[in-house]
Structure 1
């Protein structure tokens, strides 16, 4: 199956039965503990500081009954899969794969028979067992001295080698000998060995410093190796395409960067493996790199899943023509979801400077300052295009104009095209009308990213949650509470919350089950079954709200009713301001009724 918009293969939908089984097996508290320190907070509940937003007072609650979490500070809500996407920076499928592996549940694969072993598992296993061997040879073997010197010369030590899992392959069949005969085919299939024209099996990465290449979940899918003595035709060598690894689909460092990308809505893209190491050592943990190739559509998808529409892409490629070309290809790949593309200014540095060189020469703070001083990439490239020409000559002005027009013809954001057309004309010293329009730009040529995002919908207030929790625990009080909503529960709590309370009362007339009881999960599941999807985000916060004592209810009902009435008054007033004819009269009647209700509530 292919995607209608991209033409690329679309992942098969995972069976609901499989997802339900996964959610049932996963211990959400254990998963959440990877991100937050949880403390007991009542029956079947744990609480901690929210990993989604910064806070000083814990408002993030995990319910072991419902297998869900909710933050009463920012409204974050979900299950274990949602936690890994919202906080862990994984896509939905990556999160499912991670959790399935955690509980030993086999992933269903479209088109594969269930009784056939997953061939990828054997490859992952052999690559994972290679890593500690390669790492020990880097640190301890005499043959690894050149690799250790390479790292030391660039300011990296054993702690950096450990963080990134670096290794050294001495060749000579040592990897084969260490793993044993049974793994020889898996080594070949994983791209670690190959056979020469004469039929001799050899180590692909012999005599090379190697970096493990990992997917977003941190699983090793291949290796990259660097020649140390100049004897190889290829300075860098990557694992060939295998069942696990495709060069244009992997970003080096993504497994460490993904959470920081998610939090900052920003990614820094650099060219080399040591550049990523240098940036991360400087505290710029949202950095990754393509594996020896230009940024592709697949890379752009990986980035968009973490930084979202409108997030920032910072390019930090080498200070040469190839680096500038790589930056431009990055712009073209990501412009479908963001216009915020910036670059590090390496122009003041000598020769082919890169972030690793900057760190080695000037330290970590110099990298931080480079990021702080980043500039819009399109502006930088256009200025570079113009600087190549002697603007004192009319022919050179025309050539600069053509270079600018050629670049802008590939830009799809109409605002960028319009504004940089105006600026470029000023920089060249020509009229805006002298710049030809060659791109056929239209406002609709981009995805709907250009449209202003909808304002976030406010969640229920603490008072509304407390009232709902009380009424769910005491359904016999619902009729009395309706008085505060001018005769309806929706007038007090809003339509969706009222529907939730009434559905709970119909199914659990004696009140919801107590937290921690065997029947507790039934309430949650039953409401999700009968309520529309739009009401689902209300279920967990209501469940995690303790019913207030009856003595507090009068004040809570007044506060809730007054807030709802005032909001409705403001909404009707706005409609009156824009109404005509009969609409105006009916709105005035509604307004007067609400005013009367407001006066009555004020008198309580």
Structure 2
């Protein structure tokens, strides 16, 4: 049993694991001014960046989907880790030695192998495989690399290794390193038959790494003719740390260049990625034994900084054969996952980047990427070329098939441009309006009804339907203009406690109409008020740790990262304006309430109550005028 991680260690991890550096392993961030950085949100699909990170306070928040938190919660959400696993991973990355409370006998760790152990096992396996590449048994593997122009330095850069033909060599090595059979089988390194055996045997291996550089799987290439497994490539099966639909080979090496240049090149294999990088195309990545899909696009977009304000390029490399054309058509179907312009780079002779580099050198690989053509033009051109355009019926058929492809385009602003392109390809007697008419016909064809009836759990005859679970009423939008004063005042409290100081002495929970903002203020009050945060660099973190309501936690992360409404450092006048206006609004609400009660009170029948309320109203009016005068003075 492992003891609970001590709070001092958790605080040290939060301090040393810089949130901007951690987030940058998943998202390309750019300066947004005011000490904030922004990029495309990794938690939802968006075309304009609404994801903000504030390094000075250690918070992130997305103003689109409202996800927010600190560096630990970010890693938890991104990688599906428990709190303890996320702390352990960040501690390992930032060099923090975790201290545990061994006396906490009630604490039980997470079930199954911890993610950190699975990653560590892969790290050890990768290093061991790399060592095996230099052994006599790996001669065929080294020859394979040499024939493709990859020397020892290239092998080391990409971490390439060799799995010996001995079926238990890795298993024996990792068991000696202290890894359990459960850790090795769950991680996909070892399988179990009559006895445990290595998943990969007699193969050349490429380590598959996540964006942060952790090895999470392997791709294994057949190199021996007598290999009993015919498959040319074997990849790690799905594991808790390896999801092939969300992994791009080479992204750990390419992500910075992708972010810098806003260009990504999608190739088809591990050797193609190597060839591109060695030839000077440092933005190349590849899928791992699966077609490029929507999840891959989402991962890539985060690093491309792919949004409407800043368009980049996504370049696919396909073979010129039928399989390549099919792949291009599939890519066109997912084209709208990107705001970036999409292109195709096809070598006329049908060579992939690796073979092109071998035959024509590094410059030819760079030229291949430079000669890219728009993806839509490549796809539509391949369709049109199938038909005899010298015949009228051939031209009509070409238009109809092309139109059916264009009809699937969700971005209607592109449809007319595509129709014009088809018109030019087919011939002068087919104008744009004719093509658009065919597109409309294709769009109008009924789609198959995929809706499924809603299933309800069976209720025994005569039994009453169980009462519906109470529905929590929806809270007003935190960014509703009605709550702007509350929002800005709390931003001052969270971000600039020293500036706001004791000027909030008269503020109480009733000054906040929105329930969530009232909850934030109660957390602030419980922490000693804004004055207690003056000079405390960890003030926002203290508030986060004290909050228990999820809505309040989300609001705190938002308040910690959203810039103030002024570009300047908040001064006494700015602070005074917001605090006094907040108090004035409260006074106005109370005046309205008292007036309403007065109207319902008969001064003859209840003279005492009436006179008391009348005096209260006069005092409130005077208080409000005094606040108004102070607001004008501020």
Regarding TM over 0.5, the answer is yes
Against the structure 1 CA distance between its residues 324 and 100, is the aligned structure 2 distance closer, same or farther, given a 3 Å change threshold?
farther
CA distance in 1, matches of 2:546, 2:117: 41
Against the structure 1 CA distance between its residues 317 and 189, is the aligned structure 2 distance closer, same or farther, given a 3 Å change threshold?
same
CA distance in 2, matches of 1:530, 1:123: 31
CA distance in 2, matches of 1:412, 1:51: 26
2:532 match:
512
Structure 1 range deviating more: 514-523 or 153-162: 514-523
Q: How far did residue 229 of structure 1 move?
A: 5.2
CA distance in 2, matches of 1:267, 1:124: 27
Q: How far did residue 263 of structure 1 move?
A: 6.4
Equivalent position SS for 2:30? coil
Equivalent position SS for 2:345? coil
Q: Does 1:150 find its partner at 2:144? A: yes
2:207 match:
212
Q: Does 1:473 find its partner at 2:501? A: yes
Q: Contact 1:194/1:202 (CA < 8 Å) preserved in 2? A: yes
CA distance in 1, matches of 2:398, 2:185: 52
Q: Contact 1:339/1:413 (CA < 8 Å) preserved in 2? A: no
CA distance in 2, matches of 1:193, 1:252: 22
2:78 match:
91
Candidates 238, 241, 253, aligned match of 2:237: 241
Equivalent position SS for 2:165? coil
Q: How far did residue 286 of structure 1 move?
A: 4.2
1:583 match:
none
Q: Contact 2:500/2:575 (CA < 8 Å) preserved in 1? A: no
Against the structure 1 CA distance between its residues 553 and 392, is the aligned structure 2 distance closer, same or farther, given a 3 Å change threshold?
closer
Deviations 1:486-543 (A, max 9, x none): xxx99xxxxx999999996897568233434998854666699799678646754799
Deviations 1:226-278 (A, max 9, x none): 23355557462213635445544543234444565566665432100011223
CA distance in 1, matches of 2:99, 2:296: 28
Against the structure 1 CA distance between its residues 301 and 56, is the aligned structure 2 distance closer, same or farther, given a 3 Å change threshold?
closer
Q: Contact 2:69/2:553 (CA < 8 Å) preserved in 1? A: no
Q: How far did residue 179 of structure 1 move?
A: 2.0
Q: Contact 1:471/1:478 (CA < 8 Å) preserved in 2? A: no
CA distance in 2, matches of 1:474, 1:166: 61
Against the structure 1 CA distance between its residues 78 and 369, is the aligned structure 2 distance closer, same or farther, given a 3 Å change threshold?
farther
Equivalent position SS for 1:268? strand
Q: How far did residue 382 of structure 1 move?
A: 0.6
TM-score, with length taken from structure 2: 0.58
Q: Does 1:397 find its partner at 2:395? A: yes
Q: Contact 1:345/1:370 (CA < 8 Å) preserved in 2? A: yes
Against the structure 1 CA distance between its residues 128 and 509, is the aligned structure 2 distance closer, same or farther, given a 3 Å change threshold?
closer
Equivalent position SS for 1:241? coil
Equivalent position SS for 2:383? helix
CA distance in 2, matches of 1:532, 1:123: 35
> Unaligned regions of 5+ residues in structure 1, if any?
1-17, 37-49, 71-76, 107-112, 443-456, 480-488, 491-495, 562-600
Equivalent position SS for 1:328? helix
**Greater relative contact order (Cα < 8 A, sep 6+):** 2
Equivalent position SS for 1:511? helix
Q: Contact 2:235/2:288 (CA < 8 Å) preserved in 1? A: no
1:486 match:
none
CA distance in 1, matches of 2:538, 2:32: 33
Q: Contact 2:13/2:90 (CA < 8 Å) preserved in 1? A: no
Q: CA RMSD in A?
A: 6.0
CA distance in 2, matches of 1:538, 1:154: 51
2:320 match:
319
Q: How far did residue 130 of structure 1 move?
A: 2.4
1:329 match:
330
Q: Contact 2:403/2:442 (CA < 8 Å) preserved in 1? A: yes
How many residues in Structure 1 have an aligned counterpart in Structure 2? 494
Q: How far did residue 350 of structure 1 move?
A: 4.5
Q: Does 1:132 find its partner at 2:118? A: no
TM-score, with length taken from structure 1: 0.61
Candidates 56, 70, 87, aligned match of 1:79: 70
Q: How far did residue 395 of structure 1 move?
A: 3.6
Q: Contact 1:128/1:220 (CA < 8 Å) preserved in 2? A: yes
Equivalent position SS for 2:80? helix
Residue correspondence of structure 1 range 112-191 to structure 2 within 5 A: 116-118=111-113, 124=119, 126-138=121-133, 140-173=134-167, 175-176=169-170, 178-179=172-173, 191=188
Equivalent position SS for 1:291? coil
